[in-house]
Amino acid sequence: MRAAIRYNGYRHAVLAAPLGRVAAVTDPIDFEQFLAVDMRVGRVTSVADFPEARNPAWKLTIDFGPEVGVKRSSAQVTNYAREELEGRLVVAVVNFPPRQIGPFMSEVLCLGASDDAGRIILLEPRSDVPLGARIH
Work out the pLDDT band at 26, boundaries 50, 70, 90. confident
- For residue 87, the domain's CATH number is 2.40.50.140
Query: Does residue 4 surpass a pLDDT of 90?
Result: no
Distance of CA 31 to CAs 15, 36, 56, 101, 136, Å?
21, 9, 35, 31, 11
Residue 134 lies in a domain: no
Question: In angstroms, rounded to a whole number, what is the distance separating the alpha carbons of residues 29 and 83?
Answer: 38
pLDDT, position 25: 86
Domain span including residue 105: 30-122
Query: 3-class DSSP state for residue 33?
Result: helix
State the total domains in the chain: 1
Q: Is residue 63 domain-resident? A: yes
Would residue 17 count as lying in a domain? no
Q: What are phi and psi of 84, to 5 degrees?
A: -75, -25
Give yes or no for residue 132 having a pLDDT over 70. yes
Structural domain contains residue 22: no
* Domain-located, residue 130: no
Within a domain: residue 69? Answer: yes
**Share of residues in the chain with pLDDT > 90 (%):** 79
Q: Is residue 71 part of a domain?
A: yes
Is residue 14 domain-resident?
A: no
What was the pLDDT predicted at 10? Answer: 45
40-75 confidence digits (pLDDT tens): 999 999 999 999 999 999 999 999 999 999 999 999
Instruction: Please check the confidence at residue 114 and state whether its pLDDT lies above 70.
Output: yes
> Confidence class of residue 22 from pLDDT cuts 50, 70 and 90?
low
State the pLDDT confidence band at 79, using cuts at 50, 70 and 90. very high
Q: What's the pLDDT at 81?
A: 97
What is the model's pLDDT at position 20?
Answer: 54
Q: Is the pTM of this model over 0.85?
A: no
Residue 120 to residue 18: CA distance in whole angstroms: 15
